[in-house]
Amino acid sequence: MVTVTTVDTLQEAAASSAGEAVFLGGGTLVMRSVNYGELTVPQIVRLRSATALRDIRADGTRINIGAAATMGDVLRSSEVSFLHPVARQVGGPAIRNMATVGGNIFAPHPYGDFAVALLALDARLRMSDGSETDLESLLAARDSERRLVESVSIVRPAGDDFRFRKVSRVKPKGVSVMSLAAWLPRSAGRISGARIAFGAMAPTPVRARAAEAALEGATLDENGIAGALSAATQGLSPPDDGLASGWYRSQVAPVHLKRLLLGGGSRP
Amino acid sequence: MTKKPVQFQLNGSPVAVFSDEGQNLLDLLRRGVGDLSPKYGCGQGTCGSCTVIIDGEPRLSCLTLAETVEGQHVETTNGLANGPDLHALQEAFMENFAAQCGYCTPGMLMAAKALLDRTPRPSRAEIVEAISGNICRCTGYEPIIDAILAASGQPTRRTG
Amino acid sequence: MSSVEFRKDLFADERDDNLQEIGKPTRRQDILGHVTGRSPYYDDHLFDGLLHMRCVRSPHHHARIRSIDTSQAERMPGVVRVVLARDVPNNLNTLLSLINFGKDEEKLIQDTKVAYVGEPVAAIIAETEGQARDACAAVRVDYEVLPHVLDPEASLKPDAPVVNEIYPNNTFDYHDLYDHQKLRFGDVEKGFSEADHIVEGEYQMSPIEQAPIETCGAIAAPETNDRFVCYTSTQALFFSLGTTAKLLNMASSRLHFVGGTVGGGFGGKVDSIVEPLSVLGAVLTGRPVKFMWDRAEEMQVGAPRGAERWRIKDGVARDGRILARTFTGFFDAGAYTRLSSYAIIKCTGHIPGPYSIPNVASNVYCVFTNRTPATAMRGFGITGVDFAIECHMDKVAETVGLNPIELRILNAYRDGDMKPHRRLAKNTALIECCQVASQKSGWAISADAARQSSLTGGGGSRADIPESITDSVGRIGERRRTDIPTEPGMGAASRGRVAAGTQGIPIVAAAPQDEDMITDPARMGFRHAPVAPSQPGATPSSPVPPSAAPSAAPVPPQQNAPAPQPAPPQQPAAPQPPQATPDPAPAPYKPEQPFSRGVKRPGVSRFLSGSRRR
């Protein structure tokens, strides 16, 4: 049977979860596992109150988002308006009032669209032990991670440098066939230091490094992105699931990447 | 099995009840409290038929750990009518054929109420967005959207 | 609006033109309960001490069960009862046995062999749903995995694994004769030889899950008077009641079924799986038991609309008239029959769609595969073949270079036309439908096509039943011995002829398997059923002589006619006590085991607690 432990601080929670208990954020993933009897270790640890971890605040050039901020909190914050199109793509309104930014980072395939955006934005994470890490390294070892995320920090992208796109079969709310995010800093019309991330194309959100490299110094037009498109899925072997086969995902990824890069931002 | 006491407001009245470890709010409301208006459809956040309003926000009761509503205010379809007077949404759902089997209706009503509480005259697009987490298999969404428009005093496809 | 006028004209003598319902909402009778959340779905009945039942399910498509070890599960917290196949009193059924169609073939709980992923092999009853779930995970089943078959045509091969031992040829047996349902009307070979074009096409659809928002489930509880109440999501209350009575070998008078408030069904709630299991749980534990599928089970084991594969071959004249059409259809029934056998009967009556084609033949197969059994869903049996037919009509239109709407009008059936299943078409309206569709879509049709009417041009020679060519390919079991073609007429060594005008060949259905299923007028309250047929329709059918104006009334198959002489229940072999009067009427119905209490006074369950009911 499931046992639930309630603690007051994230540090206590991390100590409990190091004993393999699962941390309850918004509940959208953990409670589903509880309902279906799928928790490998039926122990849950939760915070009495997560209010302190829900803040979204500008701090100099960076913006800090508390790990317990919900998608609804993101949508209500004018500080992160560039992330509104991303948060709106997660679940329906009820899910968005529950699902947290921190939880999204740990959401298994094919979920975790918000983390795809954070990965493209080179998010830095403050962890429960006070250390900092970048999202990409955390995702690489996500399954063995025993620390908890306290907050996420990102730089506000300039102009339309940030784009996001979610591809699903059901509108307006559906699970990802894939999601794509790009951060395209430009100087004098040439891209420099692009970051592109895919969701639902691997067990975790991943960067498309070959495509990023192909965009270095390129212009954002049909010719400029041609190399990136042909390198879009290099090194990726997308999974099969009920929504799409890995083969299909590979075939359509360049099409959607092209729309992302040339479409000038997100589409509902 | 450990039981945990939970106290919260349900449709404006205080409730004190014991929850089982790991019990979700849907099960607590239905079996613990006896409010049968929220429905089980999937237990995984896909269908929206268990939607309730917690502290003014629509949430899914099947994915809410029951003990986390301690001290919070929960609203369900059971509390929508004021005594014998139906809520405007209930009237509008009746008049606009917004239900067939009726199983998704309590969840739809809660999603719609959460919208109207914040946005008294929503646009059609806002209504579509507000019920996008609720699945209906028989009626189709158009009569439901019409009913929500009608409840907010706006013209529908038929009247408009 | 012209279209509305038009339909009024068409059905003038059949409908009330004062109805003003279409296109505007109507207040439903049950709507107040729906909007207040008080409509009583089955799960909205609260019971103190409710137990929860869940099934242990096969992870394999096809496997022999070597052993089931429940010892660990029995010791798990909250477990009240482990239910195995041996606990089911009469553990073999087929859904349509209640109307005497098909052989008993499916177990409620399996003990020898599983034939699809998700087939139940045991059930656990526990205090909470979570405990039942945990205990299910602790049941150890030793499986010997067998080769499986997932494609209906692969399943027809001689060496294909046998899915369902009751039907060793992997096909449902039709009329004790063939492994498929045959339809023969006219001479398709002659039609093809006269055609200018042969148009062939293959069409495939996938299974479709009904996906009601309320999952299938039932709660059963002991009542007083030795009865059991069952609140259920069923769409077919008396079907579920009869099935439960049969599987549990229990007089139906001991079952008190309550349903009618269904959270969406669409055909997926007729299969009567959850009711017998929950009642069995209540019988075995003496407590209220709920058996409810979660969403994952609804999607995995909830019987879908089955997949169908169709091959259509048309012989078409240059001007677009279809002279001959053959169908080869494969219904993927999954591992057990459920309602697929019946879907094929419906489908065959529908062939060749709403068109008048002088030569038609079809072979339709109900094939068993190691997939989830298929069942009813909104128009099942018709929708799949209609999809194929209409795709094919477009293909024909393309071949002959004709406007697809005009092609349909040209070939449309009209009032008085004979359909291949030998009934006259009436109230036809395809032509008018096409004309409205062309108007509404702005897809122009010729003046001639716009002038056509379903009310004229039919009948006459189009009402005749032609001489029909038959064959006897595909007798039951033949396909197991050798690979034989599936198309109508192919591989036939000899052909037969049925004289023009022959309405139908009476088919004698299989005898009832269970004496209890025999319709006995005495049981329905008639003391002396009339022996002599009182109406002409009751006479056994005989070939109707060819005539210019065939009777609109079809000749009923013998078995469906009101039986002139009810089959009496079998008499015991023991000598009968002498009768006072030589009354030839059958003895009054007397069940082997007398129905026990409870018929006169339905009790109220001691588990219903008044304080919790609203």
Domain boundary among A155, A189, A221: A155
So what's the pLDDT on residue C99? Answer: 81
The Cα-based distances of A76 to A49, A97, A152 in angstroms read: 20, 11, 17
The CA distance from C369 to the nearest CA of chain A, in Å, is: 21
Q: Do B59 and A94 touch (CB under 8 A)?
A: yes
Q: Choose among C495, C493, C457: nearest CA to C478.
A: C493
CA–CA gap between residue C439 and residue C431 (Å, rounded): 12
Tens place of pLDDT for every residue, chain A, 268 residues?
Answer: 799 999 999 999 998 876 689 999 999 999 999 999 999 888 999 999 999 999 999 988 899 999 999 999 999 999 999 999 999 999 999 999 999 999 999 999 999 999 999 999 999 999 999 999 999 999 999 999 989 999 999 999 999 999 999 999 988 788 999 999 999 999 999 999 999 999 999 999 999 999 999 999 999 999 999 999 999 999 999 999 999 999 999 999 999 999 999 985 444 3
So what's the pLDDT on residue C520? Answer: 65
**Among chain C residues, CA nearest to A34:** C130
Confidence of residue C330 (pLDDT cuts 50, 70, 90): very high
Q: Do C214 and B39 touch (CB under 8 A)?
A: yes
The answer to whether position A203 is within a domain reads yes
Show the domain range for A217: 162-262
Whether residue C572 lies within 8 A of chain B, CB to CB, comes out as no
Whether the per-residue pLDDT at C100 is higher than 90: the answer is no
Whether residue C349 lies within 8 A of chain B, CB to CB, comes out as no
Confidence of residue C527 (pLDDT cuts 50, 70, 90): low
The CA distance from B146 to the nearest CA of chain C, in Å, is: 11
- Residue A172, preceding bond cis, omega within 30 degrees? yes
Question: Per the structure block, which two tokens stand in for A163?
Answer: 């784009």
Whether residue B62 lies within 8 A of chain A, CB to CB, comes out as yes
Cβ–Cβ < 8 Å for C370, C145: no
Q: Do A3 and B114 touch (CB under 8 A)?
A: no
The CA distance from A66 to the nearest CA of chain C, in Å, is: 33
Q: In the sheet where C308-316 sits, what is the strand order? A: C181-185, C359-368, C322-334, C308-316, C197-204
Of B48, B63, B129, the CB nearest to A32: B63
The 3-state secondary structure of chain A reads: CCEEEEECCHHHHHHHHHCCCEECCCCCCHHHHHHCCCCCCCEEEEECCCHHHHCEEEECCEEEEECCCEHHHHHHCHHHHHHHHHHCCCCCHHHHCCCEHHHHHCCCCCCCHHHHHHHHCCCEEEECCCCEEEHHHHHHCHHHCCCCEEEEEEECCCCCCEEEEEEECCCCCCCEEEEEEEECCEECCEECCCEEEEECCCCCCEECHHHHHHHCCCECCHHHHHHHHHCCCCCCCCCCCCCCCHHHHHHHHHHHHHHHHHCCCCCC
The answer to whether position A67 is within a domain reads yes
The answer to whether position A236 is within a domain reads yes
Q: Do C294 and A36 touch (CB under 8 A)?
A: yes
**Residues A97 and A25 placed together within one structural domain of the fold:** no
Give which of B10, B105, B136 to mutate to test C binding, by max C Cβ within 10 Å: B105
Determine what percent of chain B is predicted with pLDDT higher than 70. Answer: 99
So what's the pLDDT on residue A107? Answer: 96
Specify the pTM: 0.87
- Full set of structural domains in chain B with CATH: 3-79 (3.10.20.30), 88-151 (1.10.150.120)
- Residues of A whose CB is below 8 A from C133: 36-37
Domain boundary among A155, A186, A208: A155
Whether residue B153 lies within 8 A of chain A, CB to CB, comes out as no
Q: Choose among B150, B21, B136, B27: nearest CA to B91.
A: B150
Whether the per-residue pLDDT at C158 is higher than 50: the answer is yes
- Residues of A whose CB is below 8 A from C299: none
Domain boundary among A155, A173, A207: A155
Tell me what the pLDDT averaged over chain B comes to: 96
**Residues A55 and A151 placed together within one structural domain of the fold:** yes
Whether residue B2 lies within 8 A of chain A, CB to CB, comes out as yes
Question: Per the structure block, which two tokens stand in for C588?
Answer: 């009054």
Of B1, B31, B47, the CB nearest to C213: B47
**Residues A55 and A149 placed together within one structural domain of the fold:** yes
Q: What is the mean pLDDT of residues B22-40?
A: 97
CA–CA gap between residue C167 and residue C159 (Å, rounded): 15
Q: Do B133 and A93 touch (CB under 8 A)?
A: yes
**Residues A57 and A87 placed together within one structural domain of the fold:** yes
Say what the alpha-carbon torsion angle B5, B8, B14, B19 is, to the nearest 10 degrees: -30
Give which of C133, C136, C297, C300 to mutate to test A binding, by max A Cβ within 10 Å: C133
Whether residue A173 lies within 8 A of chain B, CB to CB, comes out as yes
Provide the CATH number for the domain around residue A221. Answer: 3.30.390.50
Tell me what the pLDDT averaged over chain C comes to: 86
So what's the pLDDT on residue C505? Answer: 62
The CA distance from C6 to the nearest CA of chain B, in Å, is: 23
Cβ–Cβ < 8 Å for A207, A136: yes
So what's the pLDDT on residue A257? Answer: 97
Q: Choose among C285, C304, C237, C264: nearest CA to C50.
A: C285
The CA distance from C308 to the nearest CA of chain A, in Å, is: 21
Contacts of C83 (CB under 8 A, 6+ apart): C53, C109, C122, C123, C124, C125, C277, C280, C281, C284
Whether residue B13 lies within 8 A of chain A, CB to CB, comes out as no
Whether the per-residue pLDDT at C605 is higher than 90: the answer is no
> How many cross-chain Cβ pairs, A to C, lie less than 8 Å apart?
13
Neighbouring C-beta atoms of residue B130, cutoff 10 Å:
25
**Residues A252 and A168 placed together within one structural domain of the fold:** yes
- Residue A110, preceding bond cis, omega within 30 degrees? yes
So what's the pLDDT on residue C25? Answer: 78
Q: Do B102 and C612 touch (CB under 8 A)?
A: no
Is the dihedral angle over the CA atoms C54, C56, C62, C68 positive or is it negative?
Answer: negative
> How many cross-chain Cβ pairs, B to C, lie less than 8 Å apart?
116
Q: For A8-22, B46-60, C80-94, C397-411, which range has the lowest pLDDT when averaged over its residues?
A: A8-22
So what's the pLDDT on residue C1? Answer: 38
So what's the pLDDT on residue C274? Answer: 98
- Full set of structural domains in chain C with CATH: 43-146+210-301 (3.90.1170.50), 152-202+326-481 (3.30.365.10)
For C285-310, what is each residue's pLDDT tens digit?
Answer: 999 999 999 999 999 999 999 999 99
Q: Do A36 and C296 touch (CB under 8 A)?
A: yes
CA–CA gap between residue A96 and residue A78 (Å, rounded): 17
Task: Collect all residues from C whose CB is shorter than 8 A from any CB in A.
Answer: 77, 130-131, 133-134, 137, 294, 296
H-run or E-run covering C32: helix C31-36
Q: Do B105 and C37 touch (CB under 8 A)?
A: yes
Of A31, A34, A92, the CB nearest to B134: A92
**Residues A30 and A73 placed together within one structural domain of the fold:** no
Confidence of residue C13 (pLDDT cuts 50, 70, 90): low
**Residues A115 and A169 placed together within one structural domain of the fold:** no
Whether the per-residue pLDDT at C233 is higher than 70: the answer is yes
CA–CA gap between residue C350 and residue B70 (Å, rounded): 60
- Residues of C whose CB is below 8 A from B81: 36
Provide the CATH number for the domain around residue A68. Answer: 3.30.465.10
- Residues of A whose CB is below 8 A from B5: none
The CA distance from C44 to the nearest CA of chain B, in Å, is: 6
The Cα-based distances of A210 to A123, A157, A179, A207 in angstroms read: 20, 22, 17, 9
Chains that touch C (3 or more CB pairs under 8 A): A, B
Which residue(s) pair with A58 in the sheet?
A63
The Cα-based distances of C387 to A134, C303, C311, C379, C393 in angstroms read: 54, 21, 12, 12, 10
The answer to whether position A78 is within a domain reads yes
So what's the pLDDT on residue C546? Answer: 41
So what's the pLDDT on residue A267? Answer: 43
**Residues A75 and A29 placed together within one structural domain of the fold:** no
The answer to whether position A43 is within a domain reads yes
The answer to whether position A267 is within a domain reads no
**Residues A99 and A174 placed together within one structural domain of the fold:** no
Determine what percent of chain C is predicted with pLDDT higher than 90. Answer: 75
- Residues of A whose CB is below 8 A from C134: 1, 37
For C505-515, what is each residue's pLDDT tens digit?
Answer: 665 555 666 66
**Residues A55 and A148 placed together within one structural domain of the fold:** yes
Q: Do A37 and C77 touch (CB under 8 A)?
A: no
The answer to whether position A268 is within a domain reads no
Considering only residues C192 and C568, tell me which one the structure prediction assigns the higher pLDDT.
C192
CA–CA gap between residue C119 and residue C59 (Å, rounded): 8
Whether the per-residue pLDDT at C352 is higher than 70: the answer is yes
Position C555, amino acid? V
Of B38, B78, B97, the CB nearest to C26: B97
So what's the pLDDT on residue C460? Answer: 96
The CA distance from A86 to the nearest CA of chain C, in Å, is: 28
So what's the pLDDT on residue A1? Answer: 79
**Among chain C residues, CA nearest to B44:** C295
**Residues A17 and A97 placed together within one structural domain of the fold:** no
CA–CA gap between residue A48 and residue A68 (Å, rounded): 12
Whether residue C214 lies within 8 A of chain B, CB to CB, comes out as yes
- Residues of B whose CB is below 8 A from A2: 21-22
Of C31, C215, C612, the CB nearest to B94: C31
The answer to whether position A64 is within a domain reads yes
So what's the pLDDT on residue C566? Answer: 42
Strands A62-66 and C289-292, sheet pairing: unpaired
For A130-156, what is each residue's pLDDT tens digit?
Answer: 999 999 999 999 999 989 999 999 999
The CA distance from A238 to the nearest CA of chain B, in Å, is: 24
Q: Do C131 and A1 touch (CB under 8 A)?
A: yes
Q: Do A31 and B65 touch (CB under 8 A)?
A: yes
Q: Do C134 and A2 touch (CB under 8 A)?
A: no
Quote the number of domains for chain A.
Answer: 3
Q: Do B65 and A1 touch (CB under 8 A)?
A: no
**Residues A59 and A42 placed together within one structural domain of the fold:** no
Whether residue B55 lies within 8 A of chain A, CB to CB, comes out as no
For C444-493, what is each residue's pLDDT tens digit?
Answer: 999 999 999 999 999 999 999 999 999 999 999 999 999 999 999 999 98
So what's the pLDDT on residue C22? Answer: 75
